[in-house]
Amino acid sequence: MSGLLRTIARRAAPVLRGHTVTQKANVYSAPAKEKIGPLETVVALTMFSVAILGPSGWILCHLEDYKKKAA
């Protein structure tokens, strides 16, 4: 049965897609136009760290509260 579905999908997919537009990625090999300063770098890394580690840290700090609610 899966072979039949695979065959139908292969034949129907190009018809359903129609004309596709080929997209090309914009890749630049030149150096950056503006330098990013050390302060901006520190602020950006801090924000990313807080955004990623903040929620998990909150959950780990309040783990005992979550355990009490479940019981």
Indicate if the alpha-carbon torsion angle 38, 40, 42, 28 is positive or negative. negative
C-alpha–C-alpha distance, residues 55 and 8, integer Å? 46
DSSP 19: S
pLDDT along the chain (71 residues), means of 10: 80 71 77 90 97 95 85 58
- Classify the C-alpha dihedral 46-47-52-54 as positive or negative: positive
- Structure tokens belonging to residue 26: 């914009």
Query: Phi/psi of residue 31, each to 5°?
Result: -65, 160
